[in-house]
């Protein structure tokens, strides 16, 4: 269900990160601060918040209000921080994830925004703007959340943590158990599962918003593979970030390992920039996104070409 090359890279990078543990406290704290701001900013921006990355950092560090931004948008920043702190505590305490914890996460997400709905399942029918999927009737939500809990307890014993996190996130969004805040809550739950399994938290980027909604829509139609690969690429990006931050740089990276644009990477290969972009989006080559642009390495292209030769010879 997950692209084999992507899974191999995730497993390799996870093993490399595990071999470095315990990570230096200074590095962990710096990474946590960086991820915290990016996680909050991107998750809120996906839902329509106009608060910028720098404004998010300012609100978190100083508690100041930003001119031109609504009170709701300020609460969305501080609430998301509180929800992340709760998720981190659940991970530290090795708590088993249940619908109760989902409701507690949601309560923190909507605190002071909609206290009547915070932490409570919806009592009315809802429709997701721009989506064909119609969530279950309100009376079905408690039943479906119980089924989600049973599925999770069984699935966590048999499927890969990245697949588990992506699928649990989608199933939660599909139930749409709350009036508001479903997306933020589902992404927090996704990261809770990843962190419980030793992965760093992953950030779904605001610039990938349309792709994110598209793969969620495909998953609604029973085609979860695109969503799982989408989440897998986000997980790989976080693993790469953590590995690079903990790597002792004794010399300049070789030309083969240097991150370059797809246009540069295409030179001297049988592939066009457009085809490399497709391979990056599918997870078939190692690539990271910088803004709206993909970067890869010459080594990644060579590894992909070698993998093709291996398949032909097998």
Active-site residues, by number, are 176
Q: How far is CA 8 from CA 162, 279, 285, in A?
A: 12, 15, 11
- 110: tokens are 């909507």
Please give the order of strands across the beta sheet that includes 287-290: 260-261, 293-296, 287-290
C-alpha–C-alpha distance, residues 47 and 77, integer Å: 12
**Helices 141-155 and 161-175 sit at what angle, rounded to 10 degrees?**
180
Task: Identify the CA nearest to 161 among candidates 203, 199, 189.
Answer: 199
CB within 8 A of 274, min separation 6: which ones? none
Q: What length does the chain have?
A: 314
Tokens in use for 139?
């009376």
């Amino acid at each position: 269900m997950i692209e084999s090359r992507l899974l191999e890279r995730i497993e390799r990078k996870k093993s490399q990160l595990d071999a470095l543990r315990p990570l230096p406290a200074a590095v962990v704290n710096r990474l946590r601060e960086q991820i915290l701001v990016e996680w909050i900013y991107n998750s809120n921006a996906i839902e329509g918040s106009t608060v910028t990355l720098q404004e998010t950092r300012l609100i978190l560090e100083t508690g100041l209000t930003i001119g031109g931004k609504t009170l709701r948008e300020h609460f969305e920043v501080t609430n998301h921080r509180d929800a992340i702190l709760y998720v981190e505590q659940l991970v530290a305490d090795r708590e088993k994830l249940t619908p109760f914890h989902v409701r507690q996460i949601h309560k923190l997400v909507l605190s002071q925004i909609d206290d009547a709905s915070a932490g409570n399942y919806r009592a009315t029918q809802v429709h997701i703007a721009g989506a064909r999927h119609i969530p279950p009737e309100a009376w079905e939500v408690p039943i479906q959340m119980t089924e989600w809990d049973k599925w999770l307890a069984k699935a966590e014993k048999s499927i890969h943590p990245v697949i588990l996190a992506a699928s649990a996130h989608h199933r939660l969004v599909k139930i749409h158990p709350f009036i508001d805040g479903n997306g933020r809550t589902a992404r927090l739950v996704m990261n809770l599962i990843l962190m419980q399994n030793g992965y760093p938290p992953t950030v779904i980027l605001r610039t990938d918003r349309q792709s994110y909604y598209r793969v969620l829509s495909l998953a609604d139609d029973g085609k979860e593979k695109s969503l799982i690969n989408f989440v897998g690429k986000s997980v790989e990006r976080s693993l790469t970030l953590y590995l690079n931050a903990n790597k002792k740089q004794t010399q300049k990276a070789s030309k083969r390992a240097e991150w370059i644009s797809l246009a540069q990477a295409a030179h001297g290969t049988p592939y066009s920039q457009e085809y490399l972009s497709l391979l990056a989006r599918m997870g078939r080559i190692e690539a990271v996104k910088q803004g709206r642009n993909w970067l890869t390495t010459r080594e990644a292209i060579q590894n992909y070409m070698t993998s093709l030769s291996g398949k032909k010879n097998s």
